Chains A and B, each alone.
Chain A
Amino acid sequence: MPRRNDIDKILLIGSGPIVIGQAAEFDYSGVQACKVLQEDGFEVVLVNSNPATIMTDPEFAAATYIEPLLPGPVAKIIEKERPDALLPTLGGQTALNLAMALHDDGTLERFGVELIGANHAAINRAEDREEFRLTMNKAGLRIPWSVTVSSPDEVESGLADGTITLPAIVRPAFTMGGHGGGIGHDEAELLAVVAEGVAASPINQVLVEESVIGWGEFEMEVMRDHNDNVVIICAIENIDPMGVHTGDSVTVAPAQTLTDALYQELRDQSIAVIRAVGVETGGSNVQFAVNPEDGEIVVIEMNPRVSRSSALASKATGFPIAKIAAKLAVGYSLEEIPNDITSATPASFEPSIDYVVTKIPRFAFEKFPGADGVLSTYMQSVGEVMSMGRTFRESFAKAMRSRELDSHPDLSCDDGTLLARLETPTADRYDLILEAFRRGLSVDQVRERCLVDPWFLREFELLVDEGEGNEDLIRTFKSVDTCAAEFEAVTPYYYSAYERPDRDGTAESEVRRGSRPSVVILGAGPNRIGQGIEFDYCCVHAAMTVRELDRDAVMVNCNPETVSTDYDTSDRLYFEPLTIEDVLAVCEQEKPEGVIVQFGGQTPLKLAHHLEEAGVPLLGTSVDAIDLAEDRGRFGAMLKRLGIKHPPYGTASSAAEATAISADVGFPLLVRPSYVLGGRAMELCYSSDDLTTYLDANVKASTEHLLLLDRFLENAIEIDVDALCDGTDVKIGGIMQHVEEAGVHSGDSACVIPPMSLGEGMLEEIRETTRQMALELGVIGLINIQYAVAGGELHVIEANPRASRTVPFVSKATGVPLAKVACRIMLGERLADMEFPDDLGDHVSVKEAVLPFARFAGADSVLGPEMKSTGEVMGIASDFPTAFAKAQAAAGASLPSAGTVFITVTDTDKAAATQFAARFHDLGFKIVATGGTAQTIASMGVPVTRINKIAEGSPHVLDLINESECDLVINTPTGSGARIDGYEIRTSAVKRGIPCITTMTSASAAVRAITAQMQGPAEVRSLQELHGKAPAGCD
């Protein structure tokens, strides 16, 4: 069946902000879909709230909307654009759920929009756990026994009549990343998990299920076309057995331990599942549990859409699942689509690979004190790395070094403790296993504790005993070709491998390097808090620019989720760890014109001086300039020379020294180790007691680096500036004013372009200071400077001589692609020769951070100088309040338009709080407050209901929140005082999904936003309308 000609315009929904369980993989899949649909002449309308995505670059769609992924705004887009079809299977669970909602509320029918890729009934059969169970039963496939429940009461009766036995697994319907699920080992735990799960599920339904913890877990990536042809793209084996979410498991492809008979059985069942569920076209992921004793198979779940695993499978095999899924959705059959990689064979085949792929998740537990760090059936990792090697050991060792850990797991314990630690799956499980073998413990001893298949354990043991097995071998590069070399590959997708030298002492390298000069772009490695998709965005822009400037773009990265590791993005992709040895090996192969280290965040920047030492040419800002910006002493001296203010600071190399200089710097103090990104281990100390506590807890973590002590500027407005510099001229990319005051990490605070409350004089000072610093530092490319305006004076907080987290946001807000311009500068072009729009339009853009607290039971949601957010969203409107309201809604914390506001603030904030209370009252809200706050509010004549603090006894604020009798929480913590109650309030609010505001400045923004949103639904405008068709700048 060829292309459907009865549809022209297709609406594609992205997956929104990066959150745990839904990351950059959906930008990768969305970009593929946009490209392939546009190439085929379809008009693509795209909606996504995440500005840090390549798919929201204006050239990937006819109309691009950065709007909240909620039925209201998307219905407005549908009404305006009138698409013929909606493709919901490429934007993760978010897009799928949104499409279901638009179907259920009649929007799709009203505007005659057809769901393509997966229909409503099929989505329902896969996602509704009960429907799925019935469907599997009908197809004669086995699934664990289960009981669908909607309340803890049903669990009690189930336990009583024996329909539920312990331990049991709780799995909510329609959530992703296992959110709201868990393991109930005993009755109390089961009841608690069920309560959470019911609350998390959009249809308030969970499955309580037979536990098959310890069985092998396998994932099959399946594709089906209109003609009912079904192929398996990849089998992924989880080394962590059942009980650890696939997203948190170390996985390998292809499956290593399955006999052909068992593999074919899984293959047959996968095909039966996709047919039974009735996904007509596209990719699905089917998960199985296999009993290691007797090969018994049970079906665990199926995702009727492109998923994290399908992105991994695409990178692992070279088969672009999302791209093919998009083509299938518009009518093609598998046979009609060529396999890009061989170009000679069709997509209707099953990839065969001749290497081993390992994926290892990257965790961030250190950011969330209070979270227990135990892996379970819900996902907690924030990123992942993938590697390829010709042997399992080679592949695994590469993946381990790709993780780029900031701190290494503590392995100092006796053997007994070590083995005991293996019983609970944790982030450092594999480090512990290797340690056990280093100590000579046996495979059986380890196996007994962790249930990992002995095949893997023997490989780990061998890795410890004999290393990677590379002795006498030499490093070369092989290509990924989907077909195990059966056909010639035309796609330049490479990985390094060690092989035996041939007669002339070399090993065959498959890299085909033409005569064009190449530019190597170093990626950002695994996504983590502080270094996310924004950096990948910049790397992709660099690749595009390098290609435009007639050079070969060469990408090096190890993150399978990203667009940068799509083989289409660069001229040559090296899927490699970002360590100096691995990068040098690529450079040796490439002999590049230069290497770009500015776009991948701190990861490549850390390699800069090693590369320089090895004689590899770097493009852009010099290593010395980087050092000048990062070395406190040199930087301070430079500011002094330029007469630029900065907060008083000091450095110390020991705890004692820190205490000694603290008085000179002056309290409150901000303390942290140097050279970190995302404010790791950064804390605010109001007194020398606070400082002592900090030093006791953290000084170990920072022995290698100096400790930095800064005077903390209170009540300061924080400003972020992204600017371009070519050595002669400076161009300001954007000035962002933060909504939260300085002290909340720039990555976690909302910010707005243009700045809302800075006078022209201050703005000019900011521009001039930025110009001076960029030139003085010797920046060639991008620089990001953070300022604080305190007492009407401008202070520099820090300068980063590289692309920053805000580059995509600024680019989307202004229409000037900063990373592309920077890349041109690095390749010798001059700002003076480029054209920039002088009018940035009349719109206001707000960026809001998205925080993962709901994932980490026990972690406090209060914001501080240490970054905690995983992603960001953007709201665009013609005024600030509306843009802010959109950003809040997009971040998943829609502000209420009616209901109850609960206010509890510290003394210093009470006066301001009274103002808001009055405004809320005028808007028709009911006000509830704790003692002191209530009194102040009442004294101003605003009606308020007083409620008990926790210590004052029930009914208290927690009851109010837990019973969902409040719609907005305003709670400001300070220093150390109001923390305890505040912590409980905030964690409960986060759990219930009640928006929780922790600063007065954002409270003020919220009131204005609520006022604006009560005036009616906001207008939607595409980026193309805002900035004109062609993106401005130098495209």
Chain B
Amino acid sequence: MSPTSPGYVLLEDGARFDGEICGDLSGITGEIVFNTSMTGYQEAVTDPSYAGQVITFTYPMIGNYGVSEGAMESDRVHARAVIMRDARNGEDAATAEGGWLDWLADCGAAAITGVDTRALVRQIRSRGAMRGGIFTGDVAELEAAARVEAEPSMVGADFARAVSHDEPIRFAGDGPHVVAIDTGIKLSMVNDLRGTGARLTLMPCTASSADVLAEDPDLVFLANGPGDPAALDYVVEAVRGLIGKRPVGGVCLGHQMLCRAVGLDTFKLTFGHRGSNHPVKDLRTGRIEITSQNHGFAVAGPSGEHQLPSDEPVTWQTDFGSAELSHINLYDRTVEGLILPEARAMTVQYHPEAGPGPHDAKYLFDRFLALAR
């Protein structure tokens, strides 16, 4: 499949970037974000954390090696659309089971190519991630602008319910029982948890602490997921009912849930962290990991600070004993990890499961499991 008709991206602030639409679409809106990974386009669009968003890939050539079952991070495309500079649809790679654009179309996802993505990214970088849409050329700009305006803001949006499921999902295993609150868990994370030998149960995101405890977990795992962490009071509530009772591990949105549960606030980053090259420092060991990241909101420190000025772990007392901010992002010094030593809880903002991204932090799954009773 090749690009069919002229189209454009319109941002909330009026900026317009022309390109060519792939597939049928008259218009789609969402939060326009960018991802700086040079590989892993299929993993990205199937990551449930992108629900409600339109991904701009900064790498210009996307689709080079086609798509394959093995690269799925969930059962479907969650991103609303993708914006690219020079999309490809070939299937020559040995692992390719289909062409990228064909597959996107089959999945009903919108795509636009030929866009000056760098100019678009520079716009978002300076003005912040914002609402926007992709429209065919025949949609008048005024109408497009109205549709963008009608798109609800990401602030306050609960997308977790939309990507979670109604009934528990169970995976067999001989090891400890890990019960995950599934706010949109990625398959890589499921695989890495199972890879430790754990028995894994995914609970719907609306599960209460009682529901979780009823499963008799050895470790509670808080998964990644989309949307505004501030909109998920019900998850925070459940987590508060679990801390101290069972060990807790978690990643990304799950980290934000644990942080909120011990009283920290979250805030929206200007344009978020989405890519595979962010350096994160473990403040306890001084070691640096190159990490996979995908989040638009971050956690503020105990004094409400958005950035941690020093390389010393920040410690304070919480309802659950002492707490320690254990990791920072070296790009912007935002919080990347929390440890509750007494409560046996530990979460990170980044993605140790990679998919896509570097494997530097894979060892964390063993650490999580080491918390299990």
Q: Which residues of A contact B (CB under 8 A)?
A: 227-229, 231-232, 254-261, 263-264, 267-268, 292-295, 334-335, 345-346, 348-356, 390-392, 453-455, 458, 469, 478, 483-488, 499-503, 507-508, 510
Contacts and interface: CB of A to CB of B under 8 A. Distances in A.
Contacts of B95: 259, 295
A485 B122 contact: yes
Interface stretch (B33-41, B145-153, B155-163, B248-256): B33-41
B17 A257 contact: no
In the A-B complex, the 7 residue pairs with the closest CB atoms: A260-B40, A484-B58, A260-B356, A454-B92, A260-B39, A350-B277, A499-B116
Contact of A390 (B85, B277, B288): B85
B94 A352 contact: no
Nearest to B41: A260
A484 B119 contact: no
Nearest to B90: A458
Interface in B16-59: 16-19, 34, 36-40, 43, 58-59
Contact of A295 (B37, B94, B271, B357): B94
B17 A256 contact: no
B16 A502 contact: yes
A507 B114 CA distance: 13
B122 A500 contact: no
B278 A267 contact: no
Contacts of B37: 260, 352
Interface in B56-87: 58-61, 64-65, 68, 70-71, 85-86
B58 A455 contact: no
Interface string B188-203: 0000000000000000
A219 B71 CA distance: 24
Contact of A488 (B18, B85, B93, B125): B125
Interface of B: 16-19, 34, 36-40, 43, 58-61, 64-65, 68, 70-71, 85-86, 90, 92-95, 114-119, 121-122, 125-126, 271, 275-279, 281, 286-288, 290, 330-331, 354-359
Contact of B58 (A231, A257, A334, A485): A485
Interface of A: prevailing SS: loop
B125 A352 contact: no
Contacts of B114: 500
Kindly name the residue among B60, B68, B330, B354 whose own CB sees the greatest number of chain A CB atoms within 10 A: B60
A31 to B, nearest CB: 27
Contact of B39 (A263, A345, A455, A469): A263
A348 B358 contact: no
A486 B277 CA distance: 11
Contact of B17 (A391, A469, A483, A502): A502
Contacts of B288: 227, 229, 334-335, 348
A257 B357 contact: no
B290 A258 contact: no
Contact of B59 (A267, A354, A508): A354
Given A268-B359, A500-B19, A349 B331 contact: yes
B61 A356 contact: yes
8 contacts: A259-B71, A263-B39, A264-B354, A335-B279, A349-B290, A350-B277, A500-B19, A502-B116
Given A254-B38, A264-B357, A469-B86, 15 more contacts: A227-B287, A231-B279, A256-B61, A258-B39, A258-B65, A259-B93, A354-B60, A355-B60, A483-B277, A484-B275, A486-B121, A486-B275, A488-B125, A500-B18, A508-B118
Contacts of B116: 499-500, 502, 507-508
Contacts of A478: 118
A260 B357 contact: yes
A510 B358 CA distance: 31
A349 B279 contact: yes
Given A264-B354, A500-B114, A231 B290 contact: yes
Contacts of B60: 354-356, 390-391
A469 to B, nearest CB: 8
B279 A348 contact: yes
Contacts of B59: 254, 352-354, 484
Given A350-B276, A502-B17, A293 B94 contact: yes
B71 A500 contact: no
Nearest to A393: B86
A350 B330 CA distance: 12
A267 B86 contact: no
B277 A485 contact: no
Contacts of A453: 92
A351 B278 CA distance: 10
B120 to A, nearest CB: 9
Contacts of B125: 485-488
Contacts of A499: 116, 119
Given A264-B358, A350-B276, A483 B85 contact: no
A260 B275 contact: no
Choose among A256, A293, A469 the residue with the greatest number of B CB atoms under 10 Å from its CB. A256
A455 B279 contact: no
Given A260-B357, A391-B61, A486 B36 contact: yes
Most buried by B among A258, A259, A293, A487: A259
Most A-side CB within 10 Å, residue of B17, B43, B95, B290: B290
Contacts of A487: 125, 331
A349 B37 CA distance: 13
B20 to A, nearest CB: 9
Nearest to B286: A227
A487 B71 CA distance: 29
Contact of B330 (A348, A486, A503): A348
A677 to B, nearest CB: 37
A232 to B, nearest CB: 8
B93 A257 contact: yes
Residue of B19, B34, B330 most packed against chain A (CB within 10 A): B330
Contacts of B359: 264, 267-268
B286 A352 contact: no
Given A260-B356, A352-B277, A484 B36 contact: yes
A508 B17 CA distance: 11
A261 B359 CA distance: 10
Nearest to B67: A259
Most buried by B among A292, A356, A500: A500
Contacts of A268: 359
Contacts of A488: 125-126
A798 B61 CA distance: 51
B44 to A, nearest CB: 9
Contacts of A258: 39, 65
Given A354-B118, A478-B118, A500-B17, A257 B38 contact: no
A968 B278 CA distance: 59
A391 B119 CA distance: 15
B42 to A, nearest CB: 8
A507 B40 contact: no
Contacts of B94: 292-295
Contacts of B38: 254, 352-353
Contacts of A454: 90, 92
A257 B19 contact: no
A808 to B, nearest CB: 39
Contact of A354 (B117, B354, B358): B117
A261 B118 CA distance: 26
A499 B290 CA distance: 32
A637 to B, nearest CB: 55
Contacts of A352: 36-38, 58-59, 275-277
A499 B61 CA distance: 14
A64 to B, nearest CB: 37
A224 to B, nearest CB: 11
A349 B278 contact: yes
Contacts of A486: 34, 36, 58, 121, 125, 271, 275, 331
Contacts of B16: 502-503
Contact of A484 (B70, B121, B290): B121
A507 B354 CA distance: 36
Contact of A458 (B40, B92, B122, B279): B92
